A and B are shown apart, each in its own frame.
Chain A
Amino acid sequence: MSTLKYFIKNIDKITDLTMEHIELISLAMCFALIIWISIGILIRNHNKLANGLLGVASIIMSIPSISIYGILVTIPGFGLSRLSAVFALVLYAMLPIMRNVYLALNEVDESIIEAARGMGMKKNQILWKIQLPLAFPIIFAGVRVALVMMVGIATLAVYIGERNLGRLIQQGITRTHMDMVLTGGLLVAILAIVVDGVMALIQKKLISPGLHLDS
């Protein structure tokens, strides 16, 4: 009850923090999509390079986010800035997005590619009209995972100067203000669930019905 009271009383501040939160992950996701999808496409036919990059991505994934933030802050040019926060989030998106692009493109049925080639489609046409649409469900699943993950990891960016829902948790703990902690915690959880739900809806809309009806 008191949590609700706290929420209503601070609604303006909380809205502000939520918007900041969404802004940060949106920004990071934009960069992540451009960078990792492009790289995923570029490495699709280079298995050795791909395995190397996937190894790097796995290592990054296994580093705790707080330590990545810590390392980035010490690098000149990054420091206590939004750049560090965005950069960290983009790094975490590497594995789910790039790996899924690479795997999905390579998983497209060989006979479909052969048919496309045999019909006279150019390499680019095969990539854009055949391979990417067929790989899309898997790529989208990777993006969805990355996005939900970012919602959580972004909260820790408050330690390097970000203002977002994580701040409620961080300050609540230092001030032992339980309503504040709970509000922050619940809102981050809800945001993650909502983001996931929205992505599920988009997924349904965007994927060709021919790929849904797997019977």
Chain B
Amino acid sequence: MIKIEGVSKYYKGMDRPAVSKLDLEIKEGEICVFVGPSGCGKTTTMKMINRIIEPTNGIISIDGKNILEFDADELRLGIGYVIQKVGLFPHYTVFENIAVVPKLKGWKEDKVMSRVRELLDVVDLDPDENMYKYPNQLSGGQKQRVGVARAMAANPSVMLMDEPFGAVDPITRNQLQNEFLALQKKVKMTICFVTHDIDEAIKMGDKIAIMNNGKLVQYDTPENILFSPINEFVEEFVGSDRALKVLNLLRVSSIMEAYMPTIRYGSDSSQINEFYNNSNFAIVLNDDNKLQGYIDINRIVEKKNVEKWCDYIRTYDICLGIDSTLKDAMVAMLENDMKTIPVLDDEKKYIGVVNFDMIKSHVGREYETTIE
């Protein structure tokens, strides 16, 4: 838990403080995203947490302990730190880069080695292939993965991330964001995340702190920021396309339904006739619930070939993972010209479908309930 109480930062020669009387609490295991226009004080705030910048007044405490009680270097050893430019040490291999903090903490050689391998697996880099590469042999996305691994090396409970995915291309960024969210689900660090991109804030944050001119404007969940912005500044900052941003926030797992009938591959055709009255389509599954495709029941019945229904199975070109956002779902629908898309769990088993009407009614409902 990070607690910021009445913290201000004044710089000489500036007419207003960089950060002014900030009060805020980041709960254990949550991602708090600081967002705002440049110069709003978000990065300054973050850097005060690991004392790269010392506050002029106010108290910052981590897990109830005032950070001033620690030696600054000692404090930083316990806090993960990821920056936009990554800052990997070019003369160190990937292994040596990740091993820096464990070695400073005096870990034994074999423990360091196994931890580095474990971390490379976690950030989806093959340890054998990448451990002894130098940073300039890695792509931008790979570098940032190593940067995240390095920050997590000694199991910090607190992590500071300064626009960590800002310097990579949009596709890689999206991928890194998703991977990081999945990772965070497992390790539950308390994270302070700085970005200027409201979309990223909505996607990554459990809480969002919107700052302007050194002051905290609104500190709330992404839902509340989107649906009930506290003032015009927040409303403007979030943008006029709030309804679209909601799509980025909601996950298919929260709206998917299993309303379509399912049928096992190779099973008896009597089921088809049963379905005929209720539904136009059915989902075809393997014995282990893996998705085989779908069938158009009307067409099979029309062709009078119900016995051989298995010949009429069509496959899906695209499926969604359970963590996909509604935006992912919409994009998939538009790009593939499909109205219904199946959702699979982590083991690729079928769990339900989403369709356009579901998205429409769900987003509409969210809006109504929160606007009241």
Q: Which residues of B contact A120 (CB under 8 A)?
A: 73-79, 101, 104
A118 touching B100, Cβ below 8 Å: no
Q: Is the CB of B100 within 8 A of A210?
A: no
Q: Which of A100-140 contact B (CB under 8 A)?
A: 109, 111-122, 125, 130, 133-134
Which DSSP category, helix, strand, loop or mixed, fits chain A's interface? helix
Please indicate the chain A residues that have their CB under 8 angstroms from the CB of B85 in the complex.
109, 111
* A8 in the interface (beta carbon within 8 A): no
Q: Indicate if the CB atoms of A115 and B87 lie closer than 8 Å.
A: yes
Contact B134 A112 (CB under 8 A): no
Residues in B with CB closer than 8 Å to A122 are 73
Question: Once A and B bind, how many residue pairs between them come within 8 Å at the CB atom?
Answer: 79
Of chain B, the residue at the smallest CB distance from A125 is: B104
Q: Is B237 an interface residue (CB 8 A)?
A: no
Number of interface residues of A (CB under 8 A): 24
Distance between Cα atoms of A112 and B151 in the complex (Å): 14
Q: How far is the CB of B82 from chain A (nearest CB, A)?
A: 9
Is the C-beta of A208 less than 8 angstroms from some C-beta in chain B? yes
Residues of A within 8 A of B100 (CB): 119, 121
Majority SS at the chain B contact face: mixed
Bound complex: CA A24 to CA B358 (Å)? 87
Q: How far is the CB of B303 from chain A (nearest CB, A)?
A: 60
Select one of B75, B83, B136 contacting A210, CB under 8 A: B136
**B73 and A210 contacting across the interface, CB-CB below 8 Å:** no
Contact A209 B52 (CB under 8 A): no
Q: Are A210 and B77 in contact (CB under 8 A)?
A: no
Task: Decide yes or no: A121 and B134 within 8 Å by CB, A115-B81, A208-B91, A211-B91 being known contacts.
Answer: no
User: Which residues of B lie under 8 Å from residue A213 when comparing CB positions?
Assistant: 134, 136-137
B218 within 8 A of A: no
Q: How far is the CB of A207 from chain B (nearest CB, A)?
A: 8
- By a beta-carbon cutoff of 8 Å, the part of chain B in contact with chain A is 50, 52, 73-79, 81, 83-93, 100-101, 104, 134-137, 147, 150-151, 160
Instruction: Enumerate chain A interface residues (CB-CB to B < 8 A).
Output: 109, 111-122, 125, 130, 133-134, 208-211, 213-215
Other than the given A115-B83, A115-B147, A120-B76, 7 more pairs (CB < 8 A) read A109-B85, A111-B86, A112-B88, A116-B87, A120-B75, A134-B89, A210-B93
